[in-house]
Structure 1
Amino acid sequence: MSIKITFLDRSTIAPHVQTRKPLFDHEWVEFQSTAPDEVVQRLRGSDIAVVNKVTLDQEILAQLPQLKLIAVAATGYDKIDIDYCRGKGISVSNIRNYAVNTVPEHALSLIMVLRRNLFSYCQDVKNGEWKKSGQFCFFNHPIGDLAGSRLGIIGKGVLGQAMATIGRALGMDVVFAARKGLNDVGFGFLPFEEVLATSDVVSLHCPLTPATRNLIALPELQLMKETALLINTARGGLVNEADLETAIVDKMIAGAGFDVIMEEPPADNHPLIALMRYPNFILTPHIAWASTEAIQALSDQLIDNIENFVAGKPSNLVYKKSRKPSPSRAGI
C-alpha cells in the first residue's frame, strides 16, 4: 500500500538542506507554500500532512477524513487544532531538541552586540568619529563585560538550560525565574519579579501559552534596571510590543534583541520595524533556530517521526491516544 505524504510549506526548510525520503512505499508531494484556500484541495487523499506554519483547524480537518498523521516540521504546534485531532484519532508529531546549540548562540550574539554597543561604534566609525577623536580610540558609548553580571532566564527547558551553560562559562551569575505570580518558587528558582529587578540580561526561553502571553509588559519593563537588556529568541507574543517600544524610546531599559514578533513577516508600519532606528534595538527575522546543522537535524527528525509512525512506533507525539495502535503500520 502506497502512502501519500503532502508537505504544504517546504520553503520553511532552507533549500540547501536535503530532506531524505521515507524508506517505505509512498507518494511524496510538496509545495513551497500553501495559501489557506488551497489547503483542503492539496491535502485531499493524503494519509500524512507535513506542515510548519500552515493552519489546520477544525473546519479544514473535517474535510480530510483520510488524514492519519500531521507531522509538524517545527516544535510549536499552535496552528493545529489538537482537540479535534485527539477526538478524531489523528496523530500529531513535532520536532524536539534540535536547536539546543543554535538558539542560545543566537541569543548570546544579540547580548554581545548590545552589551558592547557594537552597532553604535560601527556607525560612529562610518560617520568619521574616529578621525575626529584625534586618538587611537574614543568612548562615545558604555561597554559592559558579561563576566560578573546577572543573567536571568525565563524558561528552564533544554534551551533555557543551554543558555545557562553559556552564561556560566562566561562568568555570569545565572538565575532562573519562577512562574509569574507563584509564591512557592521551589529549589533553583527565584521569584519572577526579583529576577526582572536584579538581572543585567533577561533572556526568554519559554513557550507561548495563554498564561505567558504578554508575560513582559509595561509593569515588568518598569521593574527592570535601566542598564538591563531584554532578549527574546522564544516566541512573539511573550512581550507586549507596544510597551517594549515605550521602554526603548523612554530609555526604561538599555536595549533589546528580538528574533521573534507577533506578526511574521511584519507590515511596514509594525512598531518594532520603526524601533530599528535605535542602535540599541536589534530585530532578526526568526532565524535563531536556522543554523545549517540545526535545520538538517530538524529535517532528519521529521522523517524519523513519519517512519516511526508508519512502523507502529510513533515518536514525538504531542498527545497520547487513549487507544493503543495496532502492532503493524499503526498510523496507516
Structure 2
Amino acid sequence: MHEHPCPVVFLDAGTLPCGLHFDERLAQRLHYQAFDRTAPEQVAERIREAEVVVLNKVKLGAELLRQAPRLQRICVAAAGTDNIDLKAAQALGIEVCNVPDYGSDAVAEHAIALLFALRRHLLSYVTAAVDGRWSAAPHFCWHGPRIQNLGGSLLGIVGRGRIGEATARLARGLGMRVLFAQRPGRPPAEDERPLDELLAQVDALSLHLPLTAETRGLMDARHLARMKPGSVLVNTGRGAVIDAPALAAALRAGALAGAAIDVLDVEPPPPDHPLLQADIPGLLLTPHVAWASQEAQQRLAQRLVARIAEHVARREPHAP
C-alpha cells in the first residue's frame, strides 16, 4: 500500500447534494476534503497539495493548474469540461475526466416536462385554480390560454448527442414528429434540416448543445426571428447558447408563444439579469435542475467515486 493516503478535494461539493460515499477499503486510502463551495481566491490554496480534484463549475485555468504540482487527475462532476483549460492540463500531464452520460434521461424528461408546461400553460391554469378565477367561472371549468397537445406537433432538436436523442425518443413516444438540425460539416441525414429551415417549420425547439465558440449566442435575434410564429423554445443545454436580451425582446414582442429555460449564461444569475425581469410574458424558468433527479445524482456520484478509485489503483498497483 502507498505510504500516504491520496489527497482528494471536492471544491464545490454543495452542487451534488447526495455527496460522495466511499467503501471502507477506499476511504482508508484517501485524505478526502469536501468544501460546499470554493471562491475564486480560495482555489489555489485548496488544490495546492491535491492529487485528485473533483469539481463541477469551479474554473481551473493554466495559472491555477501550474500552482498544483501534485495534481494528476481532475474529475468533473458534469458532462461539460468548458471550465477547465484542457490544453494546459494536457501540457502539465493532468488527466481530465468528465461524466458524460449520468443524466441524459433526466434532462430529456425535464425538457419534455417544460414542453408540456408551455403547450398546456400549466402555470397559468394552476394559478387560476386558486386565485378566484375558477370559483367565479360561470361553467364547471375556467377557460384561459389556448391549450395545445404535444401529440401531432413537430419538435425540432438542435444538438444530436445523447440527450438530444433521448429527448427525441420520449417525444416520439408522445406522438410528436421530430426533426434535428443539420450537424455542421456533415451531409444531412434524412431527419435533419439546415437550422434556418428547421426554425421556420417546427412548433417547438429544444436546445441540447455544448458551449463552444461556434454555439455561443447561436439563438440570437436573427435566429429567433426565423422561428415559426406561435412556436416555443426550450433550453436545457448551456445558457450562453441563447442571447438573453434578444430572447426577452422576442417574448415581449409576441414573436414566440413561450420559452422555458433551465440554464442561464451567468449562474446564479444577478437580480438584473435580462431573463429575470417580471414583465416578460410566456417565460418559464427553472434553476438549472434538469439534471438533478435523485437517480441521476446517485449515478453521477458513483461514477465520480469510480474515477477516484481508478487513480488510487494506479497509484497502488499492488494494493489488494
- Report SS of the residue matched to 1:122: helix
**Alignment counterpart, residue 138 of structure 2, candidates 129, 134, 144:** 134
CA contact (8 A) 2:8 2:32 kept: yes
CA apart distance, 1:138: 3.2
Q: Does 1:195 align with 2:201?
A: no
- Report SS of the residue matched to 2:303: helix
**Alignment counterpart, residue 261 of structure 2, candidates 247, 258, 261:** 258
User: For residue 248 of structure 1, what is the aligned residue in structure 2?
Assistant: 251
User: For residue 155 of structure 2, what is the aligned residue in structure 1?
Assistant: 151
How far apart in 2 are the matches of 1:210 and 1:200?
A: 28
CA apart distance, 1:31: 1.2
CA offset digits 1:45-68 (Å, max 9, x no partner): 211111111111111111111111
Q: Does 1:292 align with 2:289?
A: no
Amino acid at match of 1:10: A
CA contact (8 A) 1:9 1:34 kept: yes
Question: How many percent of aligned residue pairs carry the same amino acid?
Answer: 39
What is the total number of aligned residue pairs between the two structures? 313
**Alignment counterpart, residue 9 of structure 1, candidates 3, 6, 12:** 12
CA apart distance, 1:309: 3.1
1:84-233 equivalent positions in 2, closer than 5 A:
84-179=88-183, 184-233=187-236
- Report SS of the residue matched to 1:298: helix
User: For residue 283 of structure 1, what is the aligned residue in structure 2?
Assistant: 285
Structure 1 runs (4+) greater than 6 angstroms displaced:
none
CA apart distance, 1:305: 1.3
CA apart distance, 1:36: 1.1
In structure 2, stretches of 5+ residues that fail to align are none
CA offset digits 1:89-135 (Å, max 9, x no partner): 11110112111211011111111111011222223333322233311
Relative to the length of structure 2, the TM-score reads 0.92
Q: Does 1:302 align with 2:300?
A: no
Relative to the length of structure 1, the TM-score reads 0.89
CA apart distance, 1:189: 1.4
How far apart in 1 are the matches of 2:40 and 2:190?
A: 46
Which range moved further: 182-191 or 3-12?
Answer: 182-191
CA apart distance, 1:328: 4.2
Q: Does 1:237 align with 2:240?
A: yes
CA apart distance, 1:183: 8.4
How far apart in 1 are the matches of 2:108 and 2:189?
A: 25
CA offset digits 1:132-165 (Å, max 9, x no partner): 3311123221010111100101111110110001
CA offset digits 1:173-205 (Å, max 9, x no partner): 11111136x684244311111211111110011
In structure 1, stretches of 5+ residues that fail to align are 313-325
How far apart in 2 are the matches of 1:186 and 1:141?
A: 37
